[in-house]
Structure 1
C-alpha cells in the first residue's frame, strides 16, 4: 500500500432555488460514493452544496437522498460570494467547481485527478444535451478550452486562497473571466482536459432587463484589468450590430425564427447602451 496520502477533491456546487436540477447533478456524482466503488489510491472526493436560498427543506432532502453531501447555507450575495463560501468549507487539496444545473459525465473527477501533480489549474469541457433549437437558448459551451467557465474547472485550493477566490464585487457575470485573468497574470498555465466533461442543458435566456448588470460587470472588468476600449460607445454599438448581422439574421433561417425576437431585442439593448454613452458625453 502506498504511503502517500491521496489527493482530496472538493466538489463545490452553488445553488439557488433549483432543487430538481441540483438533484440531477448529484445523481451524476453518486457513483463516487457507491459501496462497490472501492477506495481509490489516487484521490478522495467530497461534495459541498452552498445554498443561497437557505432552504431548510433542501437541507433535509439532501440529508435523506445524498447523505454523503455536505450542505451549507450561502451568504445570499450572488454567485461569486456563494462559490467562495462553499470553497471555505472545503477540506480538499483541490476545488472542483460546477453548477447546480450541470450534469457531470462519468470519469469527470478522475480526469482532473490525473493531472493534479502537473498543473495548478485545470479546465474541463462543457457541452450540451442536444442541438440548439432556439436562438434565444443559452448554454456556456466550451469544447476547446480558453474560457474557464465557473461551471467546470478545478484549481489547487492553496492557489485559490492566494488569489482571494472569486471577486465578490461581480454580482452578476464576468467573475470567472476575472479569475481567469488573475490566474494567467500569476504565471500559471491552465490545462484543458476534454475528458473532464459536464453537460449543461440549454436554458431559457436571462431577462433583458438584467442587461444593465452585464454592462456594469463589463466596465468593472475593463477597469480592473486595464482593458477599457478607446471608445465605450463604439464598443457597445459595434458589438450589438455585429451580433445582429452575424448571429441574429442567420438565426432567422437556422432556427426558423425561433428565439429571434429576443436576440434582436438583446442586440438593440447593446446598441442603445452605446447611444446612451454618446448622449451622456
Structure 2
C-alpha cells in the first residue's frame, strides 16, 4: 500500500522546546510535510529553526491553539493531518510508526477519521509528585489529545475543524473529537508514542488555569448538563467550589447584618455556621491536594493559599463564561458541496542561514499555557 500523505501541523508561541521537537522528528520521509503556525502576536524575532529546516511557517492570528491548528490544516497539502504540540518529544521512529498507524486505518475502514498517539509523561522517581506534576501526568490518560493526534482532512472539513470559541489549550480537542464521532467517523488509538514533559511553571499556575472554567461554561451551553459524559471528560469540582463560595458569601452577608445589631443572635450564629462551612470545604480541598504531594513547606504553603482562592476564581470564570456564551450553539456540520478548500498560498518557507535566538520572554508565552492539564480539578 502506498504510504498516505501526511502533513504535520505544529502551533507554536516561539518557546525553545520547539527546537527539541524538531530535533526529535529528524528528517521527514517522502510524502510528509511540516507546517509550523507561528502564533505569537509579536513576531519580531525568528523562530530559531535550523538552517536546513524544510518547515513551512504560517503566521497565526494569536487567537489560541484551536485557531492556529485550523490555520495549519487548511493550508496543509495532504489528506492526513497530524497535530503535535510544540512542547512534546516524539519517540525515535515516530514518523515511521505514524505512517503505520495511518496505513492500518486505511486498511480497516474508510470511515476512520482519526488516530491518536500514545502520550506519556516522564515523571521524577524517588519522591512524591507536586500538584502540577500530578495534573500534567493526567494527560497520559486523556482521549484524543491533540498533543499527538492525526485526523483525516475529510473529517476536519466535514466538522469545520476546531471550535475557535475555545481559546485555550483546554477541551478544544475533546470537543472536536465529539463532533467527528457524531458525524459518523471512528477514532482509533495508534501505536506511536510521544513524551509530554512536565514544564517548569510558577507555583501559582493552578490559579491561572481556572480561566478554563469559562470554556466549561461554553460546553455546558452547547451540550447540556451531560456534556462531560458526551465529551468523555472526568468529573470536576465545580459543585463543591460553588458550595464553598456560597458559604463564604453567606458568612460575609450575615456578618454584615449582625454588625448592625439587628435580628438578635440569629445573624451572628448564622455567620459562624457559614464561616465553618467555608472553612471545612476549603480545608477538604487543600487536604485532597496536599495528601498525595511531597508535603514540604513550599508545596504545603502553595496548596493552602491557592485552595482558598481557587473556588471563588473558578466560580467567577464559570459565571463569566455562562453569561458571555448565552445562546451559543454547536458548530454545524459543513455539507460536502460547501466544504472550503484552502490552498497554501499564504505559506512561507523558511530556510534561515543563521537562526536568531527565540524570544523566551514572558510576553511571548500565552497566559493560558498549562490550562489543558490544569483546570481538571
TM-score range, shorter chain: 0.7 to 0.9
Cα distance in 2 for residues equivalent to 1:163 and 1:156: 11
Residue 213 of structure 1 aligns with which residue?
211
Residue 290 of structure 2 aligns with which residue?
249
Cα distance in 1 for residues equivalent to 2:26 and 2:217: 41
**1:183 and 2:224 equivalent?**
no
Measured after TM superposition, the shift of residue 171 of structure 1 is 1.3
Cα distance in 1 for residues equivalent to 2:20 and 2:179: 32
Contact persistence 1:235–1:274 (CA under 8 A): no
Q: TM-score under structure 2 normalisation?
A: 0.60
After superposition, where does 1:1-281 map in structure 2 within 5 Å?
6-18=3-15, 20-32=16-28, 44-53=31-40, 55=43, 57-59=45-47, 61-62=48-49, 64-116=50-102, 117=106, 118=108, 119-131=112-124, 133-137=129-133, 138-139=135-136, 141-143=138-140, 146-172=142-168, 173-193=170-190, 195-203=191-199, 204=201, 207-227=205-225, 234=239, 236-237=241-242, 244-246=286-288, 248-252=289-293, 254=294, 256=296, 259-273=299-313
Contact persistence 2:207–2:309 (CA under 8 A): no
Cα distance in 1 for residues equivalent to 2:295 and 2:52: 40
SS at match of 1:139: helix
Contact persistence 1:9–1:94 (CA under 8 A): yes
Q: TM-score under structure 1 normalisation?
A: 0.78
Cα distance in 2 for residues equivalent to 1:262 and 1:66: 45
Contact persistence 1:98–1:150 (CA under 8 A): yes
SS at match of 2:5: strand
Number of matched pairs: 257
Measured after TM superposition, the shift of residue 181 of structure 1 is 1.9
Contact persistence 2:37–2:71 (CA under 8 A): yes
Cα distance in 1 for residues equivalent to 2:155 and 2:3: 19
Measured after TM superposition, the shift of residue 133 of structure 1 is 4.2
Cα distance in 2 for residues equivalent to 1:113 and 1:25: 18
Cα distance in 1 for residues equivalent to 2:72 and 2:80: 13
Contact persistence 2:207–2:310 (CA under 8 A): no
Contact persistence 2:210–2:310 (CA under 8 A): no
Q: Which has the higher contact order (CA 8 A, sep 6+)?
A: 2
Q: Give the structure with the larger strand fraction.
A: 1
SS at match of 2:308: helix
